[in-house]
Each structure stands twice: as structure tokens, then as C-alpha cells.
């Protein structure tokens, strides 16, 4: 079945440092890929998405490129802020035989940004 | 516009009881999905509803059930609660046929604690 693998956390960075969170996936079809972010005590917020190979998703300074050849969707940001501290989830959406889709999530990577 | 609304936010129940959680999707969204989030298992798909019909179901026992009403609001029910059912239950909604491309919008979740 489908699966998503993320790098283990926590990742601790100083403010203005460069961020990379690795994500690789396994899927039988051609999934869409997403990054969601979860702040303490909250639900998930969609950060960015990509629906086909070589698409680049971007939002709030975060970027990720859909790499079909390496089955990867790594999240990057050039300069992190304390307010970026949260848990980041990589996910894929694949169509189901019953119609509709479901999201398959990675385990999440906690990011802590310090002054 | 209003987001996905889940009620209640917090719930404490005793083993053996049953519980009903409610989700109101974004206006116009007819697809509603439910996910369970636990520290051990991460985010797992429970089921998806569209036009009052369950389209897909995850790998959960029959104690977990749900339904969707004609106004797209959804409820999920867990009967004979077990300690392991303690989790954050997240509801997500999307436009018909758009979840593959645009992903889902999540609510803030219901935190269920079983004692």
C-alpha cells in the first residue's frame, strides 16, 4: 500500500537558518503530494501542495518539488523564524477504487526554532 | 467564510461508554473525512462520506461508525470505548472531486480521553 517516510525529529534550528525536512513516498498510482503543519492544540493546516511530477508548491517562504524519479517531496525554507515552530506532516493523496481519496501521512517532524 | 467546525473540543469518557463527535464542513463542501491521531499510530484514516454515503473506510473495528446528513454535516460514533481510543479525532472537508488537487481543510479536532 501507499506509505510516506519522513525524517525523524525534533529538528532544532536557530532563527534565520536553512530548513530541510526530507520526505519520500511509495505509491502505486500517481498521487498528489502535500505538506501540512500542526501547531500545538490545533488541527492540520495545508502548507503547500503539488499534483504532478516537477510541480513546485510554495507558500509563506516554504517550498517543495515533486520529484517522481526519486519519489521525494522535501520541504525547504531559506530562513526560519521562531513562529515556524510546529509539527510538519508530509502526505500523499491517492484515488481510491470506491471513488474519493484518502490522505496517507508521514509520522511528522517537529521543528523547534530558537532565537 | 467559516472553516470546518468540530464539537466538542474536549471530551472525557469512561471505558465501555459510547461517544458521538460532530463535524460541520465548510459551506459547499460535500466530502467529509475523519482521521484519528495518536502518538503511537500517527494519523490514520477512519472513513470518508460523500452525499450521505460512506465511500471508503479505513482499517478500524466496527465499533467506529459514522454518518453524513443531507446538509453535509457528519457525525462519528465510537461504541464500547477502550483506553486505546483516546486520541485527537480530526474531521476534514473538501469540494467534490477537488480533494486530489486541493487537499482537505481540517478542523481543530476533538480531543477524546477515555478513562
Reported as a single tens digit per residue, the pLDDT across A53-82 is 999 999 999 999 999 999 999 999 999 999
User: Taking a C-beta distance cutoff of 8 angstroms, is the pair A21, A88 a contact?
Assistant: yes
Q: What's residue B75's pLDDT?
A: 98
Quote the mean pLDDT of chain B. Answer: 93
User: Taking a C-beta distance cutoff of 8 angstroms, is the pair B31, B99 a contact?
Assistant: yes
Judge whether residue A50 has pLDDT over 70.
yes
Strands B5-7 vs A101-105: parallel, antiparallel or unpaired: unpaired
pLDDT (mean) for A33-43? 93
pLDDT tens for each residue of B94-104 = 987 666 677 88
pLDDT above 70 covers a percentage of chain B that reads 95
pLDDT (mean) for A26-35? 91
> How does residue B1 score in pLDDT terms, banded at 50, 70 and 90?
low
According to DSSP, residue B95 is labeled -
The residue among B49, B66, B104 with the most chain A CBs within 10 A of its CB, best to mutate, is B104
A100, B55: Cβ pair inside 8 Å? yes
Judge whether residue A16 has pLDDT over 80.
yes
Which residue from A26, A27, A23 is spatially nearest to A49, judged by alpha carbons? A23
The three cell numbers locating residue A26: 511509495
> How does residue A28 score in pLDDT terms, banded at 50, 70 and 90?
confident
Q: Which residues between 56 and 95 in chain B have a beta carbon less than 8 angstroms from any beta carbon of chain A? A: 56, 58, 90, 92
CB atoms within 10 A of CB A46: 18
User: How far is the C-alpha of B111 from the C-alpha of A29, rounded, in Å?
Assistant: 34
- Give just the sign of the alpha carbon dihedral B103, B104, B108, B110: negative
Using an 8 Å CB-CB cutoff, list chain A residues near B103. 32, 34, 36, 46, 49, 93, 103
Q: Who wins on pLDDT, B90 or B95?
A: B90
Amino acid at each position: 500500500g501507499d506509505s510516506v517516510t519522513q525524517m525523524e525529529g525534533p529538528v532544532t534550528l536557530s532563527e534565520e537558518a536553512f530548513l530541510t525536512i526530507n520526505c519520500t513516498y511509495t505509491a502505486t498510482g500517481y498521487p498528489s503530494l502535500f505538506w501540512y503543519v500542526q501547531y500545538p492544540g490545533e488541527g492540520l493546516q495545508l502548507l503547500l501542495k503539488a499534483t504532478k511530477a516537477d510541480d513546485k508548491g510554495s507558500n509563506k517562504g516554504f517550498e517543495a518539488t515533486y520529484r517522481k524519479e526519486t519519489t521525494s517531496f522535501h520541504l525547504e525554507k531559506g530562513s526560519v523564524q521562531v513562529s515556524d515552530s510546529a509539527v510538519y506532516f508530509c502526505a500523499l493523496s491517492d484515488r481510491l477504487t470506491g471513488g474519493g481519496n484518502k490522505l496517507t501521512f508521514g509520522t511528522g517532524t517537529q521543528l523547534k526554532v530558537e532565537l | 467564510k467559516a472553516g470546518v467546525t468540530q464539537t466538542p473540543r474536549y471530551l472525557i469518557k469512561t471505558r465501555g461508554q459510547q461517544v458521538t463527535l460532530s463535524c460541520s464542513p465548510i459551506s459547499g463542501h460535500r466530502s467529509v473525512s475523519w482521521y484519528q491521531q495518536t502518538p503511537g499510530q500517527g494519523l490514520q484514516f477512519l472513513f470518508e462520506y460523500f452525499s450521505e454515503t460512506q465511500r471508503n473506510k479505513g482499517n478500524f473495528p466496527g465499533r467506529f461508525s459514522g454518518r453524513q446528513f443531507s446538509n453535509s454535516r457528519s457525525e462519528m460514533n465510537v461504541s464500547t470505548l477502550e483506553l486505546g481510543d483516546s486520541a485527537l479525532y480530526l474531521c476534514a472537508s473538501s469540494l467534490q472531486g477537488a480533494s486530489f488537487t486541493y487537499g482537505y481543510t481540517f478542523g481543530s479536532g476533538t480531543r477524546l480521553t477515555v478513562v
